[in-house]
Amino acid sequence: MNRAYAVVTAFVLAGAAIVATPQTPPKTAAPAKAPAPQTAMPPAIDAAFHKAYPAAVVKNVSKETEDGKTIYEVESVDNGRRRDINYNPDGTVILYEEELRESDVPAVVISAVKTRYPKAVITLFERLYTAKDNSTNFELGLKGAPVSEVILTPEGKWVSPKPPKSPAFN
């Protein structure tokens, strides 16, 4: 019986030792880092982009699927201005958005926006080009208006949002 008692005591003490042994705290995971921007692009897009914008710095390239088709968006900065261009895999331009200064936007566009949203502050000026219909429009970001952005033609006609049915807005 003493021997059995000794074995049980040994197991109990061993268990107590295991329980009493200080555990090293689990390592906490390092904070997640934002993924590094991707700048690799297919050779056809790389060639087309650098031919059109030799001084531009590529900030990010993303591969996307729109309407079942693969496209690439190249985000860049050129002479301090942001430019985002969507390309087909063969290097043809689908569309682009280019940051502008207010002085680059036709006065008729600025006037149309200020007439429709007199209390709004214009915070963003961009040129939008779409290759499909070879159109150029202007997108303006707004604060203090019921909408955050508007799109107008170079002639000051509303593309988005559509104006109400009133002669004062046409």
Residue 11 lies in a domain: no
% of the chain exceeding 90 in pLDDT: 71
Residue 53 belongs to some domain of the structure: yes
Question: Does any domain span residue 7?
Answer: no
| Number of structural domains in the chain | 1
33 occurs within a structural domain? no
Whether residue 12 is contained in a domain is answered as no
Question: Residue 24 has what pLDDT?
Answer: 53
Find the CATH number of the domain harbouring 131.
3.10.450.360
* Residue 1 to residue 126: CA distance in whole angstroms: 91
pLDDT band for position 162 (cuts 50, 70, 90): confident
For 135, the token pair is 């159109």
Q: Which residues pair with 77 in a beta bridge?
A: 57, 82
- Evaluate whether residue 146 is within a structural domain: yes
Global confidence as pTM: 0.69
**Does residue 31 lie within any of the structural domains?**
no
Instruction: Identify whether the C-beta of residue 100 lies closer than 8 Å to the C-beta of residue 81.
Output: yes
For residue 10, being part of any structural domain is answered with no
**DSSP string for residues in 38-92:** P----HHHHHHHHHH-TT-EEEEEEEEEETTEEEEEEEEEETTEEEEEEE-TTS-
What is the span of the domain harbouring residue 68?
A: 43-169
Give the per-residue pLDDT at 37: 64
**Mind listing the pLDDT tens digit for each residue in 44-82?**
999 999 999 999 999 999 999 999 999 999 999 999 999
Distance of CA 148 to the CA centre of its chain: 16
